[in-house]
Amino acid sequence: MNSLLLLDTCAVIWIANNEPIAKDARDAIAAALGADEPIFVSPISAWEIGLIAARGRISLQMSPEKWFERLLKAPGVYLADMPPQVLIASSFLPGAHPNDPADRIIAATAREYGYRVVTRDRRLLAYADAGYCGALVC
């Protein structure tokens, strides 16, 4: 499986806020940056961040648009592709997949491109443990 990383929305927020993440995730991110490998963020994370901000569950110190724009300017961080086939695939995931639409899109993206999802989401981790995608606990 590919070693390229796809940050789940929760990972994006923790990393952007300099909150602690698991050592293996820190090491994998540092290794990717050191090897000049891209670290991907799904466009669906922009939607999730907007929702979280709109509901007052996060304070960004700027608009969600500016916050996400700043995230994508960080060294090594790139926007993952989200073509129609990934969106359609998210509706037909095998196994006991996550029910959350954003998590389904992230899982489908990871499956399509062979990414490892960096997350703490229990459902995404269980989906990875079942062998349907790669994941790394953050």
- CATH number of the domain residue 126 falls in: 3.40.50.1010
d(CA 52, CA 50): 6
d(CA 63, CA 50): 9
Confidence (pTM): 0.94
d(CA 110, CA 107): 5
Q: How many domains does the chain have?
A: 1
d(CA 106, CA 30): 22
pLDDT tens column, 10-58: 999 999 888 999 999 999 999 999 999 999 999 999 999 999 999 999 8
pLDDT tens column, 72-117: 999 999 999 999 999 999 999 999 999 999 999 999 999 999 999 9
The number of C-alpha atoms within 13 Å of 108 and in the hemisphere containing its C-beta is 22
Owning domain of residue 61: 5-137
* Residue whose pair of structure tokens reads 């290794």 in the numeric block: 31
